[in-house]
Amino acid sequence: YKASRFSPLMSVVRHTVITLPTPVNISTWWNFGSLLGVCLAIQIFSGLVLSLHFTAHTDLSFYVVIQSFGDVYYNWWFRALHANGASFFFIGLYLHVARGMYYGSYVFKEVWSVGVVILLLVMASAFLGYVLPWGQMSFWGATVITSLFSALPIIGGDVVIWLWGGFSVDNATLTRFFGLHFLLPFTVAGLAGLHLFFLHDQGSSNPLGVSSDYNKVVFHHYYVLKDLVGVCFFVGPLLGLVYFNPWLLGDPENFIEGNPLVTPHHIQPEWYFLFAYAILRAVPNKLGGVVALAVAVLILLYMPFSPQTAIKGLSFYPWGKALFFSLIGVFILLTWAGAKPVEEPYVVVSQVLSFLYFSYFLLIGPLTRIQDKLL
């Protein structure tokens, strides 16, 4: 009788965070789902506060952002939290994706596909938000990235003009970027709910890659407390960065107002886009570079359709583990290469690393299948 008194909404919450059956052997690597939820909440809340004092206009945006530091009570804190929160959001995203690749979570096709869409939307929202302060790197980053669409055959030029809202990156571009940056996080939140729905419908994976249907515990209080500890370890460094060195991860060029007549010596995006930027620059052909840039992320959608192994995940595949950790190294080196100028030897290094990056997705399936046959 008491259970029937729960409203439908409270019933959903109860089954999601209290009575949800959860595998008893999942490790700390499964904490990043809840951490990403916390990051999303931080970004939405701090973004809403910042939007109250922002003016989307090319003549005003840069000065409004600077002026609000001193004139609006604690606005500097929300700005630093929002900027650094984006970096921590991507750290969590990349680790979450890496855990899914290592432990074979991509076999849950619906969960994985929605997760990749969330990753794409978060990347789009981060790019749009980076343009809003209208600093030098913001302006030229928007110009370079939107110009990539001109590589599309036939319609490329029209697409770029449509994105700009004119014949250059100007006030119309900034206005629509602000609107999209405001709306996309709520879309991400809705997709995160769908992601959780599919996850709870299909069940979580576990480090051993075996069925855990007969060995589960309720989510609360076992994993609620575990996730809260993870949140403390994750949010602690974020607040430390906000209070002690808030602009450590920023680009000094972005403290100069955007000027279409002065091109920065080296245009580069934020660190979390550098791996894709290095892949883009590694291809001499413009259209080929755009395709490689898109495929660098979209190739994650191929994972559920890659050759499946006898045991889910790579825990029991030494060759597969070696290849996976090689991919992690390649990813880090691509991030390093993307921050370097477009000159030798960095171009050749980026080309080699890009080849190794894409090779992983082609080799991991056959390599683990060979080991299955040997065993």
3-state helix, strand, coil in the chain (%, to 5): 70, 0, 25
- 307 to 85, 364, 372, 373, 375: CA distances (angstroms): 37, 9, 12, 13, 17
The one catalytic residue in 251, 253, 257, 270 is 270
57 marked among binding-site residues: no
CA distance 263 to 140: 7
CA distance 316 to 319: 9
Comparing CA positions, the residue from 195, 233, 182 lying closest to residue 100 is 195
For the question of residue 125 being annotated catalytic, the response is no
CA distance 159 to 140: 18
181 marked among binding-site residues: yes
53 marked among binding-site residues: no
Structure tokens at 110: 């619906």
For the question of residue 53 being annotated catalytic, the response is no
220 marked among binding-site residues: no
Residue 319, exposed/middle/buried by CB under 10 A (0-12, 13-18, 19+)? middle
The one catalytic residue in 53, 216, 226, 340 is 226
82 marked among binding-site residues: yes
The one catalytic residue in 200, 286, 321, 340 is 200
Residues sharing a CB contact under 8 Å with residue 33, sequence separation 6 or more, in sequence order: 96, 199
Residues sharing a CB contact under 8 Å with residue 313, sequence separation 6 or more, in sequence order: 102, 103, 104, 205, 207, 208, 209
- 13 to 6, 19, 113, 205, 223: CA distances (angstroms): 10, 9, 24, 21, 15
- Alpha-helical segments (H) within 19-108: 32-51, 61-71, 75-102
Half-sphere exposure of residue 267, counting CA atoms within 13 Å on the CB side?
A: 16
Find tokens 């990156």 and name the residue. Answer: 169
For the question of residue 226 being annotated catalytic, the response is yes
Binding residues for a ubiquinone: 200
Binding residues: 82, 96, 181, 195, 200
Which residues does the annotation mark as catalytic?
200, 204, 226-227, 270
